């Protein structure tokens, strides 16, 4: 649904997909590694494309991109912040989380020993 960015927060809080001006939200399917319980639907809010996830709702947790950004992305952040506590992550981990779920982060940390 096409909306004005100033209306984005209400869509984010209800986790409804939307398309604004260089700001949008959609669901990503995250499959459980062992196939139990079926797939999870994670809600992801992007600014200026899928290379910059701003917020991810995964399970019961909201994640927020902590990296520096442009003034327009800062405006997006203020327009659509879910108004609840968030866990801060850098962009590279937000991307892994959005595309591959917790399993993608765990796999990389185990194989490469890289801290979050």
pLDDT tens per residue across span 26-38:
998 866 555 555 5
Question: Per the structure, how many domains does the chain have?
Answer: 1
Q: Which residues lie closer than 8 Å to 30 by C-beta, 6 or more apart?
A: 39, 40, 41, 42, 58, 100, 101, 102, 103
Per-residue confidence (pLDDT) for residue 46, from 0 to 100: 96
Per-residue confidence (pLDDT) for residue 109, from 0 to 100: 74
User: Which residues span the domain enclosing 95?
Assistant: 5-112
41 vs 79: which has the higher pLDDT: 79
Q: Enter the DSSP assignment of 21.
A: S
CB-based burial of residue 48 (10 Å sphere; 0-12 exposed, 13-18 middle, 19+ buried)?
middle
Instruction: State the average pLDDT over residues 32-59.
Output: 82
> Global pTM?
0.84
């Amino acid at each position: 649904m096409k909306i004005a960015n100033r209306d984005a927060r209400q869509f984010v809080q209800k986790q409804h997909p939307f398309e604004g001006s260089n700001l949008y939200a959609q669901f990503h399917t995250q499959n459980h590694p062992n196939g139990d319980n079926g797939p999870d639907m994670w809600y992801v809010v992007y600014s200026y494309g899928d290379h910059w996830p701003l917020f991810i709702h995964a399970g019961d947790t909201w994640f927020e991109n902590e990296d520096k950004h442009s003034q327009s992305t800062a405006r997006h952040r203020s327009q659509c912040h879910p108004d609840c506590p968030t866990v801060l992550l850098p962009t590279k981990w937000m991307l892994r989380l959005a595309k591959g779920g917790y399993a993608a982060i765990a796999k990389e940390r185990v194989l490469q020993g890289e801290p979050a």
